[in-house]
Structure formats: structure tokens, C-alpha cells
A and B are shown apart, each in its own frame.
Chain A
Amino acid sequence: NAGVTQTPKFQVLKTGQSMTLQCAQDMNHEYMSWYRQDPGMGLRLIHYSVGAGITDQGEVPNGYNVSRSTTEDFPLRLLSAAPSQTSVYFCASSPDSSDYGYTFGSGTRLTVV
């Protein structure tokens, strides 16, 4: 089991560029979610999904899109990158009961210049 795999680990974007952060899990978890971590802010929820074909917005969804076409993958798209989106992004997954907690990926450090 690889767990939760995020790619890339580091990325520098220019303002206005678009990109997709990848997240894949091989644990057959139903729940997947994206968070951003900024200094002094903890982790803030961007989007989440309870299963293939179902997504919902979290606390800070603006500027981000998601889709969930398979159980394994939950990509996060930045439509037009802005410096305010400079952050560390974490993907997490959990079985549908969440009784066992959430497994986090290793993160993607994104810088928008």
C-alpha cells in the first residue's frame, strides 16, 4: 500500500497559470478531501468528496475546482493561479465511517509568483 500519494511535491507557478495537483489513494477509501496550510492558520478545507461523482465545497473553495471520477483519484485544479494561493496543500482520505481517522499525503508546496 502506497497510502495517499500527492504529486508534485513542489511547484512554482506564474500568476494566471493553471495547474492540477494530483492525489491518489490505494486503500479503497470513500472519503477524500483537500486542505491548504498557511502559517498560523492551521489547515483549511478546500473541497471534499464522499465518493465517486460527489463533491462539496469546504471553507475556502474559491479559485479551486475538483472532480471525482474514480474512488482512487481526487485532483485539485487551480484555474488561474494567484499569489494568495501560495501554500502547502494536503490531500487526505478515510474509510466512509471515518472511525479510523484520516490518512494524509505528504503535501505539495506551491509558490505563485
Chain B
Amino acid sequence: ELKVEQNPLFLSMQEGKNYTIYCNYSTTSDRLYWYRQDPGKSLESLFVLLSNGAVKQEGRLMASLDTKARLSTLHITAAVHDLSATYFCAVDPNYGGSQGNLIFGKGTKLSVKP
């Protein structure tokens, strides 16, 4: 059974600081997704990582995937208040071909303070 663990679960940051959210998963997978959720809202897709070594960047966020270590990171650079949200990683448990199901981590609630 695939398990997806995120840490930390809660993160309070100061504006301008850097930090990394970690997503570990327990079985072989080659597809990983990062989502953002604002309170009371739906999930917004941030990154789709489809191979070992994949790195994607959008603004102050950068995501990477190491399938051998079964680890993905979401790095935040020079945080701003607008990044305050809950961030989820989700793993496709079907190595080599998707079947339409994802297993989510519990989420990291990020709060960026002045």
C-alpha cells in the first residue's frame, strides 16, 4: 500500500526567508503532483513531475523529483504573504502508466508572516 508523507505539516515562515517542504512516498512511482489549496477553496495544480530528476519552477516555488530516493521537494524562495496556503503532494501509485488514481499526503499548512 502506497503511503505518502509530507513534512512539516505546519510551517510558519517570515517573509523573505527560504524553506523546503518534503514529500516521501513508500513504493515505486514516476509521477508526482503538487497542489495548492486556499481555505475553503478547491485544489490548484502547481507542478506535474513525470520523471526522475524533473525540476520545475514557477515564481518563488521550485519542485523536484528523485524517484530513486522516493522523494520530492517543494522549495520556497523569499517567501511572501501571498504564498500562505496548504500545499499537497500527490503520487500516482501505478508505475509506468497512470490509472487515474492519486494518493495524497496530509498537506503542509504554510503561514508567511511579515
Q: Which residues of A contact B (CB under 8 A)?
A: 30-33, 35, 40-45, 48-50, 56, 58-59, 90, 92, 94, 96-107
Contact = CB atoms under 8 A, between A and B. Distances in A.
A103 B45 contact: yes
B43 A104 contact: yes
B104 interface: yes
Say whether chain B's binding surface is mostly helix, strand, loop, or mixed.
loop
A89 B35 CA distance: 16
Given A42-B107, A43-B88, A101 B45 contact: yes
Given A98-B98, A99-B50, A102-B45, A59 B103 contact: yes
Residue among B45, B98, B103 with max Cβ neighbours from chain A (10 Å): B98
Interface of B: 4, 31, 33, 35, 41-43, 45, 48, 50, 88, 90, 92, 98-107
A107 B50 CA distance: 27
A41 B86 CA distance: 12
A33 B42 contact: no
A43 B90 CA distance: 9
A38 B43 CA distance: 14
